[in-house]
Amino acid sequence: MNKKRKAAAKGSKVAKKTSAKAPAPAPVKKAAHSRQGFRTHEHIVYPAHGVGQIVRIEEQEIAGNKLELFVISFQKDKMTLRVPTAKAAAVGMRKLAGPDVVKKSLDTLKGRARIKRTMWSRRAQEYEAKINSGNLISIAEVVRDLFRSENQPEQSYSERQLYEAALDRMVRELATIEDITETEASKQVESYLLKGPRRGPKTEDTAEKQDEAA
């Protein structure tokens, strides 16, 4: 009996020793689903590119440092952007506009165009800055100011380009918010524009227009 007990005790010690040497399984790192108030699969607005969707949050090692990134897909533009999660607020990334902002932006479309008496090149810069601000109301101001109805003089090429850029940004966001097609959102925007006061003929200086066309 003593021999059997000694053998059992010895076997137990060996088992404990073997168990102690066995490497612990590496912890499984779960993918992050939300950071800085944003979550995966959520649609967001990135100022320079408009509406995109966070497809995942990934971690990369750069120069020995781990960096966490939002991977944002802009499907219509066939582009993917990686933004450090810690810098999302600094670069102006935001959630889709809320009901109050949407209402104010649509009401903005009904207002009178506000055309500054400055050189077109300067106004064009201001319009572009508003478009790239990512602010829906500022974008609506550009749409309102550059909109031309059928009974108004045609736009120059550069005016048309800025108008279409602003319109595209606004339509995409409205379509995403309201879960409608971009065609439906575009018709909605146009209906508000047509409610605004009619604009008279342009009074831009001819030399300014020639300079712009060049």
CATH number, domain containing residue 91: 2.40.10.170
> For residue 176, what is the enclosing H or E element?
helix 157-178
Contacts of 5 (CB under 8 A, 6+ apart): none
| Mean pLDDT computed over 17-33 | 51
- Coil, strand or helix at 150: coil
Q: Are residues 107 and 152 in the same domain?
A: yes
Sheet holding 65-74, edge to edge: 79-84, 65-74, 50-62, 43-46, 94-95
Which domain range does residue 152 map to? 99-198
Q: Can you give the pLDDT at residue 169?
A: 96
Structural domain contains residue 213: no
Structural domain contains residue 65: yes
Q: Are residues 81 and 116 in the same domain?
A: no
Q: Are residues 189 and 105 in the same domain?
A: yes
Q: Are residues 107 and 177 in the same domain?
A: yes
Domain end (from 95, 120, 147): 95
CA-CA distance, 96 to 44, in Å (whole number)?
A: 6
- Coil, strand or helix at 40: coil
| Mean pLDDT computed over 49-74 | 92
CA dihedral of 58, 64, 65, 67, whole degrees rounded to 10: -20
pLDDT (tens digit per residue) in 132-189: 999 999 999 999 999 987 777 778 899 999 999 999 999 999 999 999 999 999 999 9
Domain end (from 77, 95, 113): 95
pLDDT (tens digit per residue) in 90-118: 999 999 999 999 999 999 999 998 888 88
DSSP letter (8 states) at residue 118: S
CA distances (Å), 89 to each of 38, 86, 92, 93, 174, in order?
Answer: 11, 8, 5, 6, 22
The answer, yes or no, to whether residue 29 has pLDDT greater than 80, is: no
Tally of domains within the chain: 2
CATH number, domain containing residue 172: 1.20.58.1290
> Residue 81 pairs with which residues in a beta bridge?
72
